[in-house]
Structure 1
Amino acid sequence: MIGLGTVINVAAVLVGSTLGLLLGHRLPQQTRDVVTDGLGLVTLLVAALNAAAVLDAGLAAQVGDSAPVLIVLGAVLIGGIVGSLVRVEDRLRALGAVLQRRFGGRPRAAGGHLPGDADTAERRERFVQGFLTASLLFVVGPLTILGSLSDGLGLGIDQLALKSVLDGFASVAFAASLGVGVMASALTVAVVQGGLTLVGFLLGDVLPDAHVSALTATGGLLLVGVAIRLLRLRDVPVGDLLPALLVAPLLVEVVARAG
């Protein structure tokens, strides 16, 4: 059944988020902060492993030994410019705010009175942060691209099954520390992976290995940005950098043809 991998992944995020929400309020804030820091460090490790794809021999053979790093650099710069001009990060934040208003509800203070604007704004920001962070982590990476395309081609859901397990455990920790916004990221997973599965079904082909390596390395750098956000070092606008994932394979094709 084509699309089953995405269905399993969405279910894993929803179940994991529910468990995290049930557990989260029982944990002190310091414990939640430690969990978030741990997730940031693990994300940094995954990012480093992905970024190492820039050293892939197949990519170097396709574009030359000195070009891979320049391709990733060009992809990040061009993708960042495009993403900032179309305001990808702002649009993701706006979507998160809409979902918060729709599903997060307005909290009530003791005695049934609505809290002040500051409390509401803080809760909304926490929802948006959870939605953005989880969405970016769950959809940025080679397993998302390759697994969804393989699912669409009818080659099996092994990669998405593995990703579902990883995302399920991650969503428990994320929801415990970042709240209900993490659950809303299941919508992002459904749209992105469902769309890529459809692309694989329609095109009937996958990206060449060199293109995948460039995309993986670029995705690794974006995950570094996610890790920096989780570690509360800097609010890197990773959403604005997402177009780099499309630019990287295109640059490989351009350089390969020019050579």
Structure 2
Amino acid sequence: MIGTIVNTAAILAGSGIGACVRKGLGERYQDALYNAMGLAACGLGANAIVQNMPKSSFPVLFIISLAAGSFLGTMADLMGRFERLTKRFSKGNLGQGLSTAILLFCIGTLSILGPMESALRGNNTYLFTNATLDFVTSLVLASTYGIGIALSAAVLFLWQGSIYLFSGALSQFLTEELLTEISLVGGFLIFSSGLSILKIKDCKSLNMLPALFIPVLWFLLKP
């Protein structure tokens, strides 16, 4: 699990450095970072959509996933619960930043295939690459939202650790087709998170999180 440990440490380090930088920034510069982070999230989300949509074998599945997932997440009020929880530990809109961080760090091919490659082949290349990207991202996010972004490191460790432990069983199920559908839906979630940061539209991205499990359910049930 050395790759996952390095990835987690990279997020903690980036969050610590970013939080220190944030203390010296005025409101005008913090606003500029909000805009930069929003645009970056939109760009990363759009890139995931453009890359995976042509490869999708089920063109309507992402629509069903987003609709059903949003309905279930809104019913459970995931965003509201998450925001109330984060407000106990920090002032401001940490919930928005933390939800964006979790989506960026956990929903991606490197973060899913990386632990499997590490467990099955001893290859940590994916995770080391992911660690570099997450270090930079966590630094920018923490310089915008504060040290609370470091909490996403715990989520990433549990996420990648679970995949690592169950990689033998998951390798038979996580086909390229399924990863394409998950990445496509994930791209929309990251893009919606960017729109929320830019205050264009509050999509309540965390309420849409169950959408990621609809493709998994579809692949389990389809003949």
Whether these two folds match at TM > 0.5 is: yes
| Residue 61 of structure 2: aligned partner | 71
Q: 1:201 to 1:4 in 2, by over 3 A?
A: farther
Amino acid at match of 1:85: M
Question: Whole-Å Cα distance in 1 between the matches of residues 219 and 14 of structure 2?
Answer: 37
C-alpha contact (below 8 Å) 1:212/1:249 kept by paired residues: no
User: How far off is 1:166 after superposition?
Assistant: 0.8
Change (3 A) 1:93 1:150: farther
1:194 Cα deviation from its structure 2 partner: 1.9
Provide TM-score, normalisation by structure 1.
0.77
Shift of 1:137: 2.3
CA distance in 1, matches of 2:121, 2:82: 31
CA RMSD in angstroms, aligned pairs only: 2.1
Residue number among 174, 187, 192 corresponding to 2:154 in the alignment: 187
Gaps in structure 2 of 5+ consecutive residues: none
TM-score normalised by L of structure 2: 0.88
2:46 equivalent in structure 1: 48
Alpha-carbon distance between aligned partners in 2 of 1:204 and 1:54, rounded to the nearest angstrom: 23
The structure number with the bigger radius of gyration is 1
Q: Which runs of 5+ in 1 are unaligned?
A: 61-66, 105-122
How many residues of Structure 1 are paired with residues of Structure 2 in the alignment?
A: 222
Corresponding residue number in structure 1 for 2:71: 81
Contact 2:107-2:183 within 8 A present in 1 as well? no
1:89-128 aligned within 5 A: 89-98=79-88, 100=89, 123=91, 125-128=92-95
**Aligned-partner SS, 2:200:** coil
Name which of structure 1's ranges 10-19 and 41-50 shifts more when overlaid on structure 2.
41-50
Structure 2 residue identity aligned to 1:244:
A
The answer to whether the aligner puts 1:170 opposite 2:169 as a matched pair is no
Shift of 1:202: 4.7
User: Structure 1 residue 181: deviation in Å?
Assistant: 1.6
Percent of aligned positions that are identical: 25
Question: Quick check: 1:149–1:200 contact (8 Å CA) kept in 2?
Answer: yes
1:4-55 deviation digits (Å, cap 9, x = unpaired): 2221111111101111111112122211211221122122121112112011
Q: Deviations over 1:146-170 (max 9, x none)?
A: 2233334345222221111111001
